[in-house]
Amino acid sequence: MKNWLKIASRKVPAGSIVVDGVRKTTGGRTRTRVAMTMAVFFGIYASIGGRLVYFAMQEPDTGAAPQSRVTAARPDIVDRNGQLLATDIRTASLFAEPRRIVDADEVIEKLSTVLPDLQMEQTYHKLRSGAGFVWLKRQLTPKQQADIMALGLPGIGFRTEKRRFYPGGPTASHILGLTNIDNKGIAGMEKYIDDSGLADLQATGLAADLEPVKLSIDLRVQHIVRDEIAQAMERYHAIAAGAVVLDIDTGEVLAMASVPDFDPNNPFNALDKDHLNRMTGGVYEMGSTVKSFTTAMALDSGKVTLESKFDATRPITIGRQTIRDFHGKHRVLSVPEVFIYSSNIGSAREADVVGVEGHRAFLQRMGLLTRLTTELPEVAKPTEPRVWKKVHSITASFGHGFSTTPLQTAVGAAALMTGTLLPPTFLPRTPQEATEVGKRVVTDYTVEGMRYLYRLNAEKGSGKRAEVVGYRVGGKTGTAEKVVNGRYSSDKRFNAFVAAFPMDKPRYIVLSIIDEPKPEKPGMGATAGSNAAPIVANIIRRSAAMLGVEPEFGHETEATVVSTE
């Protein structure tokens, strides 16, 4: 008690009590403020760090449509024997991040030393746009990529993309078609692949899991066809040429080419009108090759036989049209003579027997007047008179007045060899599948008659230069005058030859065309027999063995002409 009283009785200065109180109060507040400040700074830095991690995990903003970011993966395309026709390869593309570009002028100046074709003004606007991502140049070469990397430009980068590569170059360009910069099919079978639903699978990026798309094309025969028409175009000083090889039993297109063509690896001239695929994308008056169908029509009508005769003594006049023969015999001709002498007058009289309505109906049945149905997108629609009159039927009998595609003519000729019309295909098709899609169009009598006439014409008619020893070729020539300024021109022709072989049991159709050919040498002719027929002969000579046709020697049977003389 005394000790307590002593402590209580001590005198403590009033100022020291106040100071101690203030110190205690302010010390607590300071610690609180420091803690709060530290928490704020920690939150700020944590937020910044989180955003940096977030941005590091994101793809750059392209500023373009989503499909421009990642090019589509595509399945390989191979021929019927598994030979590669088209595949994807990896390539680098150049992009910029304008927000990181300090001096756009310097970047353009340095890039132009590697990319001299760089569009300066367009690139400058891109670099000054402030966007997060812009494309500068797609699909660089490895050397260009290395040279640009050596420039050390900030804000410039590369992205790996897929690009379509065609090992054969222009060999099958019109069949394979093209892809655009984003690897999407825009023409030919490349477009068919996208349109048929494979594009949905490609979008998954699992192209490695996709089976290659196999075509009916035989790359070996394809090379021969293109090589022969390219040589013919030069040899006969023509503006274009083309050919197709067709399997008669299945309708498979084994080879088809048209020149001038293009290299799908560098398709700068693919859209030029001169580089049109004339075999499917062009329609032409096919000249006397159409007489195949006129004669078949007459035989199939039951009103005409191979022994029937037609008066070709003098020209036929219908209105203002006068029908003459190129090398007239000026006498009555049998059906075989009408065919091998390619008589316009005789063909006109054959058509007259059937009649206008029956004539158009037969051409329609043979698929010559409707748009061809096949996988290739580039298919033109045939043209014909709005209203068929007798004069139209007469001129159509020898290949004038209506136009169709060369491939349709080949398909129709194949039907004359078997009696069954098959839609052509660029994909493999078995004989059983062909039976399901085929349509019977002519009788067996007509088939036998046309086989006989084709072989006869190669032996004794205008198709002599299509003969290939051992392979029993038959066919029909066609020399059509082209229409220039509304009139038929006597010095501009569109020539064709359609052939089948071997004629004892035809397996293949080969059709060639040559546009505006000139004489090979001064004094020589420029009709189909002197240019289109040799093209076919060369194709058959080089490819028949590859197609599995064995030559036969010493067993040739000579066809005879049923004559009226």
Residues annotated catalytic, as ranges: 288
Q: Which amino acid is at 331?
A: R
How long, in residues, is the chain? 565
User: Are 511 and 499 contacting, i.e. CB atoms less than 8 angstroms apart?
Assistant: yes
Strands 213-214 and 77-78: parallel
H helical segments located in 390-474: 390-396, 406-418, 431-437, 444-460
Q: Tokens 């090379």 map to which residue?
A: 223
Measuring CA to CA, which residue among 73, 264, 104 is closest to residue 168?
A: 264
Roughly what angle, to the nearest 10 degrees, separates helices 444-460 and 291-300? 140
The set of long-range contacts for 225-229, using a CB threshold of 8 Å and a minimum separation of 24, is 225/255, 225/256, 225/257, 225/539, 225/543, 226/170, 226/171, 226/172, 226/257, 226/259, 226/261, 228/535, 228/538, 228/539, 228/542, 229/257, 229/258, 229/259, 229/512, 229/514, 229/535
User: Are 47 and 41 contacting, i.e. CB atoms less than 8 angstroms apart?
Assistant: no
Distances (CA, A) of 280 to 67, 256, 510: 31, 10, 15
* Token output for 364: 């329609």
